[in-house]
Amino acid sequence: MAAWLPILKAALPYLGNIVAAALPVFTARQADASAELVSQQIAELQEAVTCNAETVKGLAAQVEQTLTALDAGEADLARRFASLQEALTRCESTASLAQTQRTRMEGVAAALQNRADELERRLTGARRREVAIAAAALLALLVACLALLR
């Protein structure tokens, strides 16, 4: 419906001329049709037909311009749609790559967390051994001191 709106707007100025020329508003008929009256009526009919032809040509030219503009608009929209499709494909590809990177990063983070936990356990075990060795050394020193005092 929206495509016909420009055509209708273009035709409205000529519609009055077409209707006026098509209506039988010719000279009044008299009872005796003379040759002069008939030739006058023929001339009026020829003038009306000529006017109608010119009006129809102008209307056809405007319809052709409108259709050309619609075709150009359609081609432009098709080109824009293809461009949007390409952009959407690129975005989907980028999103897929980002998801892959995220999965990899989560794996790396989990591995680093496991390594940190393991190092923490080792460090805690080493400290306990150091404390035990220091306690044993202190006990040995205490025993040695007591042995010297006797």
Retrieve residue 1's tokens: 């419906």
The model's pLDDT over 7-49, given as tens digits with 9 standing for 90+, comes to 767 777 776 776 666 665 554 555 455 888 888 888 899 998 9
What pLDDT is recorded for position 69?
Answer: 92
Domain residue extents for the chain: 4-123
Q: Rounded distance, CA 108 to CA 116, Å? A: 12
List of the chain residues with pLDDT < 70? 1-5, 8, 15, 18-33
Q: Rounded distance, CA 147 to CA 114, Å? A: 49
Over the chain, what is the mean pLDDT? 84
What pLDDT is recorded for position 122?
Answer: 84
List phi, psi (to 5°) of 65: -65, -40
Judged by DSSP in three states, 86 sits in: helix
